[in-house]
Structure 1
Amino acid sequence: MNDSQRAKLAMLQTTLRVLDEHADLYATNKALGKARQELAALVADLDPTAERQQRATTPAKPGAVKKETKEKLAERAAAVAAALLALADELNDIRLHTDSDYTERQLRRQPDADLLRITHNLHQRATDHAQALAEQGVTAQELSDLQAAIQAFQQEQTTPRTRMADGKARKQEINADLREASALLRNRIDKFLIRYQRPEPQFHTAYQSARQVVNTAARPAAKTTPAPVG
């Protein structure tokens, strides 16, 4: 939550507390009682300790691929690349040579997106030449292991982005809850409280005071101009 949202939540919590403290005064007012329950549910959803809030404020960083996952992919891809490179020399295939000319060290140093593209291509080229590679001892299991390593790498690369998108969606839900709570107060509870203004002035005054949003965010100190000397 930002400072403005926290201030609004504080107002909602204070308002709910006032309603709870004076619940006996409107025990027979079913409409106000129902509105109070709706407000309590919204405040509970907006509680900063709730799981939704924690996930919204601390989304995982995108592209956080584990080092060991990347190293395993580079290792498996390099073994296949070496076999393809030897085959390219045998076939005098310049394009295949270019596609497979990667060492394990080079693969490890590739950016994540480039590594994914390169290894996908290596797997495809190896699949196309599977029969010829089998003569070098490259097995179908090796190609399956490479595919599994690619998928594991891709999943770790994608999952944090999904969490980030989820975090943004949850922030939108928080904004929606704040708007709904504000509308509930403005359109219903504020109106219900008018009838208590004269018979229960203390209750009405406490409610009106609680309804004030106080933004406690630190503001930059005003610049002061030193008084002229002399």
Structure 2
Amino acid sequence: MEKEEIIYGAHSVIEALKSEKSIEKIILNKGQRNEFYEEITQLAKEQQVKVSFVPQVKFRKYENLNHQEIIAFTSPVKFADFETIIESILSKKESVLFLVLDGVTDVRNLGSIIRTAECTGVDAIILPKNNSAGVNKDTVKTSAGAIFKIPICKVDHVHDALFYFQSSGIQLIAATEKTDNYIYNQEVNAKVALVMGDENKGISNATLKQVDAKVKLPLLGSIESLNVSVACGAMLYEIVRRKTQ
């Protein structure tokens, strides 16, 4: 566990990027450009760290700091190396459950999902470095501390992680409305990874082409979709029920 903190000032942020410190995002003043901005944005791009150009007013809360309108926010948790943690888990367990989040962008939804994942015995959570909610104090709070009890991996591309899973004999099950197959009818293997998608768009078509099975939950009311954290919880508990029968 790492303490959440901010890093401010051009030189400090540049050094943090060069040392590959776990940075969630960087904010820069959109109305200003200086000699450091190009170096920071280039380093951030190489490490797939999100950079946001914001109005000067966003820096007022940090006016007691000599930030030069350059602030980086670090992650409160240390991310696990994907291949290392997966191989370690597979070497110790015959029955495994992984969770892949393909584009969940709301920090509170992410925190709720992490909490449920820990309660259902998920062995590791996989997030993409881009197009994913950041891990901040709201994520930690919503997870009720579960975020410190389960390995979380960030990968460059979800597709590569899915290929790695398949080559390791892990069944890939995607939650999507683009199917007639209910989760209750789906055969679940001892080694399985559940893939959940974006709150609005769902799982990308490219990802859906990779998975072994597509499943959905029945929606009997007039609302067309569930909150992603609620849907994820229902899916995980059904998978656990099937695996423990």
For this structure pair, what is the TM-score category when the shorter chain's length is used for normalisation? under 0.3
Q: Greater RCO between the two (CA within 8 Å, min separation 6)?
A: 1
What TM-score comes out, normalization by structure 2 length?
0.18
Higher helix share: 1
